[in-house]
Amino acid sequence: MTSVSQSAAAASVAPTTRPVFDWVLGLAIAAVAAVYVRAIYFTPAEALQGLAQKIYYVHVAAAIDAYVAVSITALMSLVALWLRDQRADRLAESSAEVGIVFLSVVLTTGPIWGHKIWGTWWAWWEMRLTLTLFLWFVVAAYLVLRGAIEDDAMRARYSAVLAILGALLIPFIHLSVYMFAARLHPMPVVLKPSQPSLPSEMLTTFVLSVCAFTFFCAALIRARYRYGILRDLAASLDAEGNAA
């Protein structure tokens, strides 16, 4: 285990060579804050939905990034299973954790917005929201599964299997919810929260918000990945200490 001791020695000499929190994350947070300011103060309110529509800039960006993050998890899980690559597994894990954060934002801002628009807190016929809910459950199961396995190799294998099966599941849920919703509730035409007509100012804010939140999402995944490296290092040192 000389390579581990060497990296341990290196880490002990300079434990912060790859800091978890650095200027990239700070910049990303600043970008998000800037978008907040622009959305709140410098973008007009929408005609039909009023100020509530502004949640759109946070809600939709979060949804896009959540799906991207979760897709990264699925893809990296495939790589990790096929190539037995630990880094892919770590990236899958980081992406899943950040993904569930963004999914949570979608699931909290959705009902807050929807309550005003639809008159109910939850709408099962709102396909994207319902799909996001089930996706949240699958990612939560993924994270709990990872937490319940101590052996590294088994954890990587099992969570990869779950991620890949989960990826297979999503189209079925999408189709099932669609068939459920189409029967129950024709899509409301007048107030469609997802596609308000966007004059150029609002479109710009929207594009900026997607860019800023995506940057934030990437920065978070990067930070979480680095934390994962440190955590694994600490765990392997522990294991070494116990074995010695």
Partner 1 sequence: MSERRPPGLFCAAWLVARKDLAIEYRTRTAFFSALVFAVLALTIFYFTWDESVISPNDRAPGVLWVVLTFSALLGLQRSFGLEEYDRGIDALLVSPIGRESIYLGKALGNLLFLCAIQVIAIPALALFYNLPVGRPLLIVTGIVGLAMIGIVAVGTLFSAMAVNTRLAELLLPMLSLPFFVPVLMNAAQAATKIFAGRPVAEVWPWLKVLIAFDIVFVVACTIAFPFTLEE
Partner 2 sequence: MIDTSGTFIAGYVVATIVYAAYVVSLWRRSRAVARKLERRAK
Judged by the rule CB under 8 A, the positions of this chain that interact with partner 1 are 81, 134, 137-138, 140-141, 144-145, 147-150, 153-154, 157-158, 160-162, 164-166, 168-169, 172-173, 175-177, 179-180, 183
Contact 55, 46 (CB under 8 A): no
Residue 210: contacted member of partner 1, partner 2, none (CB under 5 to 8 Å, by partner type): none
Q: Which stretch binds partner 2 (CB under 8 A): 71-79, 111-119, 134-142, 199-207?
A: 111-119
**Coil, helix or strand for 242?**
helix
C-alpha closest to that of 99 among 130, 138, 54: 138
d(CA 54, CA 56): 5
Residue 231: contacted member of partner 2, partner 1, none (CB under 5 to 8 Å, by partner type): partner 2
Task: State yes or no: residue 30 binds partner 2 (CB under 8 A).
Answer: no
Among 78, 101, 170, 210, binds partner 2 (CB under 8 A): 101
Q: What's the closest the beta carbon of residue 112 comes to partner 2, in angstroms?
A: 5
Contact 57, 39 (CB under 8 A): yes
Q: Is 181 exposed, middle or buried (0-12, 13-18, 19+ CB in 10 A)?
A: middle
Would you say 87 or 226 has its CB closer to partner 2? 226
Other beta carbons less than 10 A from residue 133's beta carbon: 18
Other beta carbons less than 10 A from residue 20's beta carbon: 16
Q: Which helix (H) or strand (E) holds 239?
A: helix 200-243
Task: State yes or no: residue 112 binds partner 2 (CB under 8 A).
Answer: yes
Q: Is 164 exposed, middle or buried (0-12, 13-18, 19+ CB in 10 A)?
A: middle
Task: State yes or no: residue 222 binds partner 2 (CB under 8 A).
Answer: no
- Return the ∠ at Cα 229 (arms to 224 and 230), rounded to 5°: 95
d(CA 216, CA 69): 12
Residue 137: contacted member of partner 1, partner 2, none (CB under 5 to 8 Å, by partner type): partner 1
Would you say 25 or 208 has its CB closer to partner 2? 25
Task: State yes or no: residue 179 binds partner 2 (CB under 8 A).
Answer: no
Helices (H), 49-199: 55-83, 86-118, 127-147, 152-184
Residue 143: contacted member of partner 1, partner 2, none (CB under 5 to 8 Å, by partner type): none
Task: State yes or no: residue 187 binds partner 2 (CB under 8 A).
Answer: no
Residues that bind partner 2 (CB under 8 A): 8, 11-13, 15-16, 20-21, 25, 29, 32, 36, 40, 45, 47-55, 58-59, 62, 98, 101, 104-105, 108-109, 112-113, 115-116, 216, 220, 223-224, 226-227, 230-231, 233-234, 237, 241
